Chain A
């Protein structure tokens, strides 16, 4: 295919061999698998089967809506963590890490009805699913769990748009995916959030996106950031490998210096007072 390309510098783009949709975990999970020539060999099919099994098992173990799931039984106190399947301890341990990294903004133990790691599990499961797709035949893969996206190696980096939560139909920006991206919306927009440390209202955000190597942690941190607001961006100074992007309720954006934006909106409101972090290399431009 490369021979017909006008420029010798263009490498052949991987072609999508599989576009699969799985209804699981109460949502639709999309699995896209790319190969060099767009064909689907046995390793690709095996990988897809592994990924689907991982998603279904995560649903069976962690669903808080299935009364007989180990998660539901743990919440009712019928079993201990040690009596649950081994991934329960793994997930709760990572939730504790996310709670610490987010200074308590993400806290599955603070919820009514008992511990609820839902904000971590969807990303965690999608990350494990995409990891299971890896084989010599695969040139890249994406698992998109209703807008939370994990990926594995692609010779051509995947580009993902972030839906603009205020201006309908617009993309807030496009990122070159470094691994995973999770976006949380703040649907309780009417609420006045008070920063417990300063006592002042926090700058509430319409949506918060986090990129990084692992979708589980990105998912939890995006949940935390949606609650913490724009000031929560500073927490990422101390979290290696993870970057963040928020859209404020006035439609303007702020992001951490390393956020992998390839295309972002430059709005007048930015210049008028809200000063976003700049990525520093002049890549921002009008859409």
Chain B
């Protein structure tokens, strides 16, 4: 078992890195995808540094949909619209997410900006995980599933920014 503890240590160190993420903003509530709109005022430009752009609203107000969970975009259903979420911190830098919707369907999710400060470890992780996250977001709505299981370094920041972008579009 000589090697095992070392390997476990490496894995746990990675996990610890994930768990260290965003300790400055212990609480955040956002609506989920799709169906609940978090109140979102500001948009992409402010470096919101790990805080939710919906931070002004009371935590519980954005969580309940008393009746229909169906998505109801406020504009014409067939139009193609695009929005960019706020810049949020993740483990190794700052990112923001843009989303394009056509009618009630998400057609594209992309990284609008990414600044990892040139951290080489970060770059390799970004290359692995960000395309995966984009596809997870798309697939979660298309497949008949209620969730996706899988670890990812940047998911928290990604989801925050994505959710804010969706909220801007009335999702």
Contacts and interface: CB of A to CB of B under 8 A. Distances in A.
Interface of A: 15-28, 30, 32, 38-40, 45, 48, 56, 59, 63-66, 104-108, 110-112, 116, 118-119, 122, 142, 144, 146-149, 158-163, 165, 168-171, 174, 181-188, 191, 193-194, 196, 207, 209, 223-224, 226-227
B121 to A, nearest CB: 10
Given A39-B66, A142-B147, A165-B132, 4 more contacts: A142-B146, A147-B155, A163-B150, A182-B149
A209 B149 contact: yes
Contacts of B148: 147, 160-163, 171
Given A23-B27, A65-B23, A171-B139, A28 B149 contact: no
Given A21-B29, A159-B145, A188-B11, A169 B152 contact: no
B145 A161 contact: yes
Contacts of A163: 132, 136, 148-150, 152
11 contacts: A17-B64, A18-B65, A20-B32, A32-B32, A159-B144, A161-B145, A161-B147, A162-B150, A163-B149, A184-B151, A196-B1
A111 B12 contact: yes
Contacts, number: 225
A193 B26 contact: no
Nearest to A28: B156
Contact of A174 (B125, B138, B145): B145
Interface string B133-144: 011101110011
A168 B128 CA distance: 8
Contacts of B146: 32, 142, 158-160
A169 B135 contact: yes
Contacts of A188: 7, 10-11, 14
Given A21-B32, A65-B20, A196 B150 contact: no
A159 B155 CA distance: 20
B59 to A, nearest CB: 8
A20 B18 CA distance: 21
B66 to A, nearest CB: 5
B23 A227 contact: no
Contacts of B28: 21-23, 28
Nearest to B140: A161
Contacts of A161: 139-140, 143, 145, 147-149
B20 A26 contact: yes
Nearest to B52: A23
A181 B150 CA distance: 9
Given A106-B8, A158-B147, A188-B14, A38 B67 contact: yes
Contacts of A15: 69
A284 B159 CA distance: 32
Interface string B83-126: 00000000000000000000000000000000000000000010
A266 to B, nearest CB: 18
A59 B26 contact: yes
Given A23-B28, A65-B23, A118-B15, A147 B150 contact: yes
